[in-house]
Amino acid sequence: MRLPEVRARLVELADEHGIDELRGLAEAMKRRFHGRAARVVSATVTPDLANAVRAYCAAFPEMPMHEVSKVFRLNQGRVSEILFGKRA
């Protein structure tokens, strides 16, 4: 189970049994907003973009991933995920 599922189950149990402490524990598990959010700089990975990255890398096998990432406005980690089958 992941944390959101655990929180939801705690809330269900709190409602089911009338235990306010469980609801409080569920609320305490939420991520706290730190007051800022970074702007999005990477493109969204779509199946078409993933195919384009794979084709580009096949055409230029010696090009480093960080340079491929600049061409497609992606994070280097996203390029790696695409090439190793973890994205689209």
Rounded-to-integer distance, Cα 77 and Cα 83, Å: 10
Residue environment code for 1-19, b if the CB has 16+ CB neighbours within 10 A, otherwise e: eeeeeebeebeeebeeeee
pTM score, whole prediction = 0.55
Residue from 28, 35, 37 nearest 3 by CA: 28
Q: What is the pLDDT along the chain (88 residues), one digit of tens a residue?
A: 888 899 999 999 999 999 999 899 898 988 887 777 778 777 788 999 999 999 999 999 999 999 999 999 998 999 999 999 876 6
